Structure 1
């Protein structure tokens, strides 16, 4: 006869027991919890793994009979309970249907760490000890890049930007190929809907200040059935306009993710001189640009990109790369930015310039070279007249020997209404100050509480190693 027990009542001396549990995490190809949310880790070894892989499912309830309880392996991680379980072919796994009255309700217990605490932890930890640190996070994915290959380490990576419940954002790098192919692929298609992820056993590094990174046993769950996730999703609905703006600001023209603050600070043009050289900021301004079409492009070497002082396309012997190449047009022009406090000049180029004009560099060149057969830019000028733009810019580094009126390098120009008109229910609160305006986002109140059946191929785990 077996005894129906709770997790904390099971010890190595318990002769034969049954415990009703719910699987809340599966890694290494699962953590389990019961109704009172006591938690333990169950391990399946080697040849037994395929049998369990076919049977266990996340957030399903099972009756487990005939497992072995043993003291946890304490070298690398904090145990969830006094004893872990070992399951094998002598154990019995009885599934309970989700609509059965005996099925356990969705879990509520999480042991998540805020991003502010992660930053403090990293600052207080020696570099040699940082690889031993592990965190669980619950966060909103606000941006996601496609996977890219890193030749120096001969691996692929994928980057996310995630925001936690306290409106702190961090870059999260995925190195594990299995996660990139599964959860990473899903997030690349879903991130514009701002899914919530539960990432367990992740590491942190000092790359780009502080950033997050996967480890060999990291798991990522998309929209897990925790009440904390529902609270975050409600917050997303209320603040979608701010999140959309942040997604745009955190994407460079080349597609790489940028580390920018969550709060968008609008800097008056009159205050630009007080900004640090090289510092990136946002101004809200109207845009005007030159009337001469020839001022909207430069001709560059098609091989190395060196610009030349020549008005028409031809073949040249490039003085930079020392090769004979054809000149090609590159979009580059100055724009005047004006707000209530003053005006300034910025330079915009390449894809951002083409996007603002809705013309390619080749189309600009054709209009300038053959005005009789191509229209001027009056249609473009009329289209942006009296519109406000959020302009993400960087102050040019001071060059005393150079006499130029250009003060800003423009990273992006986004029409203010382009990310608000299409949203169902924007809810932005603006506070006006003498020197700046911030879009305020009120973080949701989320309680932090904790979650593990683990499968592995070896008896002793390898030393955890953070992949950079």
Structure 2
């Protein structure tokens, strides 16, 4: 359930009027979709969450329909949806989600998703390891001061999934070294 206005989660029952903790207005609780999906390209698989209208469009049923399946103790027709989605190619924009476990496992949220117009071609080429599926991550923009010959037409920089993972591993290694150095300096002071 979520607030109709700001879409923030609530513990209120369906149709119940409640005061939203986020927008501080009285709203009715409305069903909202949230699903975790596995995104796969030739480099790896990444799990991301998809919410609201985007989830309903991608999974082909509404939050209310999903709630009705749950109330009837019936299983959602996810196997059929999975088979349909598995044969399609998508361009997806992700953003890192806040983690509560101290950064041990990075979570992602799908911000934007559309089916690639050349999905049949891409699906046939996906067996070829030279095909590079790209994921976009929110916040990686090209600076306006870049020289025209170096500018990218899109405002978002495309990053290959494997490159992003390599960068995050390097950052974790550097952070670990910095933390160890800091700990050893503190130990020497004591």
* Structure richer in helix, relative to its length: 2
Q: Does 1:432 align with 2:130?
A: yes
Root mean square deviation, CA, Å? 3.7
Report what 2:182 is aligned to.
none
Q: For 2:33, what is the secondary structure of its paired residue? A: strand
Alignment of 1:401-416 (within 5 A): 401=102, 405-414=106-115
Q: For 1:303, what is the secondary structure of its paired residue? A: coil
TM-aligned CA deviation for residue 375 of structure 1: 5.4
TM-aligned CA deviation for residue 300 of structure 1: 0.9
TM-aligned CA deviation for residue 350 of structure 1: 2.6
- Structure 2 distance, partners of 1:397, 1:330, is 18
TM-aligned CA deviation for residue 432 of structure 1: 2.8
> Could you tell me whether the CA contact under 8 Å between 2:97 and 2:109 is conserved in 1?
no
Question: Unmatched 5+ residue regions in structure 2?
Answer: 122-127, 135-190
Q: Does 1:355 align with 2:53?
A: no
Task: Choose the corresponding residue for 1:336, options 23, 38, 41.
Answer: 38
Summarize the Cα distance change of 1:368–1:405 in structure 2 as closer, same or farther, 3 Å threshold.
Answer: farther
Task: Choose the corresponding residue for 2:84, options 383, 403, 412.
Answer: 383
> Could you tell me whether the CA contact under 8 Å between 1:313 and 1:328 is conserved in 2?
yes
Report what 1:152 is aligned to.
none
> Could you tell me whether the CA contact under 8 Å between 1:367 and 1:376 is conserved in 2?
no
* Structure richer in strand, relative to its length: 1
Larger relative contact order (Cα-Cα within 8 Å, sequence gap ≥ 6):
1
Q: Does 1:326 align with 2:24?
A: no
Structure 1 length as normaliser, TM-score?
0.23
> Could you tell me whether the CA contact under 8 Å between 1:314 and 1:327 is conserved in 2?
yes
- Structure 1 distance, partners of 2:51, 2:27, is 22
- Structure 2 distance, partners of 1:323, 1:300, is 13
> Could you tell me whether the CA contact under 8 Å between 1:391 and 1:413 is conserved in 2?
yes
- Larger gyration radius, structure 1 or structure 2: 1
TM-aligned CA deviation for residue 397 of structure 1: 6.6
> Could you tell me whether the CA contact under 8 Å between 2:42 and 2:133 is conserved in 1?
no
Question: Unmatched 5+ residue regions in structure 1?
Answer: 1-298, 421-429, 439-468
Q: For 1:319, what is the secondary structure of its paired residue? A: coil
Alignment of 1:51-450 (within 5 A): 299-309=1-11, 312-372=14-74, 376-384=77-85, 386-396=86-96, 401=102, 405-414=106-115, 432=130, 436=132
- Structure 2 distance, partners of 1:387, 1:366, is 28
Q: How many residues align?
A: 128
Q: For 2:32, what is the secondary structure of its paired residue? A: strand
1:136-194 superposed Cα distances (whole Å, 9 cap, x missing partner): xxxxxxxxxxxxxxxxxxxxxxxxxxxxxxxxxxxxxxxxxxxxxxxxxxxxxxxxxxx
Q: For 1:392, what is the secondary structure of its paired residue? A: strand
> Could you tell me whether the CA contact under 8 Å between 1:333 and 1:348 is conserved in 2?
yes
> Could you tell me whether the CA contact under 8 Å between 1:388 and 1:416 is conserved in 2?
no
- Structure 1 distance, partners of 2:21, 2:96, is 27
